[in-house]
Amino acid sequence: MEIAPWEVFVRSTALHGFVYRYEPWLWPILQTLHYFGATILIGTIGLFDLRALGVAKGIVPATIHRLIPLGIAAYVCNGLLGIVFFFGHPDQYFYNDAFRLKLLLMAVAGINVAAFYGTGAFAEVKKLPAGADASLRIKIITGISLLVWVGVLCCGRMITFFRPPFFH
């Protein structure tokens, strides 16, 4: 199969060369860090979503929202690691339905984040006291968030089973 121009470019970069050269020990280390990131993401954004959905209602939503910056940091780290993985084996990710669905779900998560912070939903959550139920609108947004992040995790884990059979 002909190699697409974008892939020729990716394979010409120093980053690709670096991953290719040190792969035997670099890949397991970066994968482990990617798993840490996923764990932190669920442990922060996931717990915030669960509170909004009614688990651990004794928590004041504004206080558990303090965990979100840590979740964003984990997201950024994992995004950067993802770019390294992609540059290491571009064909294994690009021609991969699990990876494509993962990107799609991450786009949905992005729209959902915009809906949460851009529409006054966040301002509404911030005012909730301990024990209070969130509105249906909040529960829909946080429910989508939780589902989408678990979906991203599933797709990520499934990437290896959807790898294309060819190697360049």
Which residues of the shown chain bind other proteins in the complex (CB under 8 A)? 28, 31-32, 35-36, 38-44, 46-47, 50, 55-60, 62-64, 66-67, 70, 130, 150, 153-154, 156-158, 161
Helix (H, G, I), strand (E, B) or coil at 96: coil
Which is nearer to other proteins, 44 or 142 (by Cβ)?
44
Smallest gap from Cβ 59 to other proteins, in A, equals: 4
Pick 71 or 90: Cβ nearer other proteins: 71
Of 21, 17, 166, the C-alpha closest to 94 is: 166
One-letter amino acid for residue 112 of the chain: N
Q: Which is nearer to other proteins, 86 or 149 (CB)?
A: 149
Buried b (16+ CB within 10 A) or exposed e, 156-167: beebeebbeeee
Give the shortest CB-9-to-other proteins separation in angstroms. Answer: 29
- Helix and strand counts by DSSP (H, E) for the chain: 9, 0
User: Whole-number minimum distance, CB 5 to other proteins, in Å?
Assistant: 32
The torsion angles phi and psi of 9, rounded to 5 degrees, stand at -65, -50
